[in-house]
Structure 1
Amino acid sequence: MRRYSAHIGYLFSDRPLVERIAAARANGFDAVENPAPYATPAPAVAAALKEAGLTYVQMGLPSGDAARGEKGLAALPERVAEFRATLEPSLDYAEAVGCRAMHAMAGVRPEGVPEAKLWDTYIGNLALAADAARARGMLLLLEPIGSGTIADYLLDTPDLALRAIRELGRDNVRLIFDAFHTVNAGLDPLPFIRDHAGLIHHMHIADYPGRHEPGTGTLDFAALYAALDAAGYAGFIGCEYVPAGRTEDGLGWLAAHRAGAMRKAGAAHA
């Protein structure tokens, strides 16, 4: 059976964060995620998770001021001190809510800074973050996001994410792989899944175009799931989509996908 995580930065966003956790459970999700829960005290989040019987599968290190279009700090030379100052408090928060995987967003390329300097800053900060995460038994996650989604994002191709993992050389660095971001960048996600599934810790889905619920666009989810199954992917499917309306009104796809997985499992054991 596939396990689905509700991205509660997008889903159930018409209510406070702790209430989104209960809503995720009530609507059939197996876990939750959100990169920026920090405004809600960790004990309140931990209590809501315990009551719902859900896990918090991944969150982000602080990524700057979203209102100013900031999408991460890890690659920004002038923000090194800020990135490093937030690292241990963020890991404390994650540990308090039982989250074992932290995503470090790279950031948008600032004008006038050489690419090599951005990359060196990125790798240096990631090395520090990966070592701090390993000391707590946690993973550090990287997510390639193409220019179709975030213009001038440093880690904008899957190949760059693979390069970062190679250069870091640490066994606790893995990928978030997003089917929507990949297709939105004009790439086919299936070959990457086939060739690199062992590096994928977490999968994100949304339909294309529009980034709405599965079934609202043209993304071939049957082929995507077949590739994941063939590769032996056993992680969560993170639902990081923009609901076309009220979250609950658009969840028919979830029951349909679960039913399809059950039929396939039944046929395999017949």
Structure 2
Amino acid sequence: MRKYSAHIGYLFSEIPLLERFAAARRGGFAAVEHPAPYAAPPAEVARQLRETGLTFVQMGLASGDAARGEKGFAALPDRVDTFRESVGKGLDYAEAIGCKAVHAMAGVRPDGVDHDRLWDTYLENMAMAADAAASRGMRILIEPIGPGSLPNYFMDDSALGVRAVEALGRDNVRLIFDAFHATNAGEDPVPFVRAHAGLIHHMHIADHPGRHEPGTGTIDFDALYAALEETGFTGFIGCEYVPAGNTEAGLGWLGRHRAGISA
């Protein structure tokens, strides 16, 4: 049986954050995720998880002010202290809510800094984060996001994500692979899954174009699921899509996909 996680930054956004846990459970999800849950006290999040029986499967380190264009700091030479501070705080929060995987965003490439310097900074920061996470039994996740989704993002290519995991050489560093971002960058997600399934800890899905519910676009989910199953993927499939309308009203696809009926 496929395991689905509700990305409650996108889903159920019509209601307050702490109410989304119960809504996700009613909607048929076994787990939730959120890139920036910090506005909610961890004790309150932990209580919601206990009451609903949900698992919090992945969250993000603090990634800065999105209104100012900040998308993380791991690759930014002038924000090393900011990144390293975010690691301790993020892991503390994750530990308090029982989350075992934390995504570290790389940041938007600054003008006038060459790629090699950004790469070296990224590897040094991610090695530190991975070692800190390992000491708590946690993973650090890398999610490539192409230029069609996030212009000038440093970790902008699936192959670069693979290169980073391999360069870091740590068992607790793995990928979030996003089928929408890959498709939006002109990449077929199915061959990537077949080639690199062992490096993928977590999947994200949304249809393309539009980034709405699966079944509203052109992604071949039957082929994607077949690739996941053939390669032995056992992680969660995170639903990181923009509901076309009310979240609950748009969940009809979930039962069909869980049962293996995608068309």
Give your verdict on TM over 0.5: yes
Partner of 2:210: 210
Matched, 1:244 2:247: no
3-state SS of paired residue (1:93): helix
Partner of 2:226: 226
Partner of 1:170: 170
Partner of 1:4: 4
Letter in 1 for 2:139: L
Letter in 1 for 2:39: A
3-state SS of paired residue (2:144): coil
Once the two structures are superposed, residues 74-107 of structure 1 have per-residue CA deviations (whole angstroms, 9 ceiling, x without a partner) of: 1111111111112111101000000000000101
Distance in 1 of aligned mates of 2:63 and 2:89:
14
Partner of 2:23: 23
Distance in 1 of aligned mates of 2:179 and 2:45:
28
Cα drift, residue 259 of structure 1: 2.6
Letter in 1 for 2:135: A
Once the two structures are superposed, residues 227-251 of structure 1 have per-residue CA deviations (whole angstroms, 9 ceiling, x without a partner) of: 1111111110100000011101110
Cα root mean square deviation, aligned: 1.1
Partner of 1:33: 33
Partner of 1:63: 63
Once the two structures are superposed, residues 16-53 of structure 1 have per-residue CA deviations (whole angstroms, 9 ceiling, x without a partner) of: 21110110001100100001000110000000010000
3-state SS of paired residue (1:226): helix
Partner of 1:180: 180
Once the two structures are superposed, residues 124-172 of structure 1 have per-residue CA deviations (whole angstroms, 9 ceiling, x without a partner) of: 1100000000000000100111101000111111111111112111111
Where in structure 2 are the equivalents of 1:142-161 lying within 5 Å? 142-161=142-161
- TM score, norm. by length of structure 2: 0.98
Distance in 2 of aligned mates of 1:164 and 1:47:
36
Partner of 1:267: none
Distance in 2 of aligned mates of 1:167 and 1:230:
26
Distance in 1 of aligned mates of 2:164 and 2:256:
37
Matched, 1:111 2:94: no
Matched, 1:82 2:82: yes
- After TM superposition, where is structure 1 displaced by more than 6 Å over at least 4 residues in a row? none
Q: Which runs of 5+ in 1 are unaligned?
A: 264-270
3-state SS of paired residue (1:123): helix
3-state SS of paired residue (1:141): strand
Partner of 1:123: 123
Letter in 2 for 1:159: A
Distance in 1 of aligned mates of 2:62 and 2:98:
18
Partner of 1:193: 193
Letter in 2 for 1:211: R
- TM score, norm. by length of structure 1: 0.95
Cα drift, residue 195 of structure 1: 1.1
Distance in 1 of aligned mates of 2:122 and 2:26:
39
Q: Which runs of 5+ in 2 are unaligned?
A: none
Partner of 1:100: 100
Cα drift, residue 260 of structure 1: 2.3
Distance in 1 of aligned mates of 2:23 and 2:17:
10
Cα drift, residue 2 of structure 1: 0.4
3-state SS of paired residue (2:111): coil
3-state SS of paired residue (1:241): coil
Letter in 2 for 1:253: W
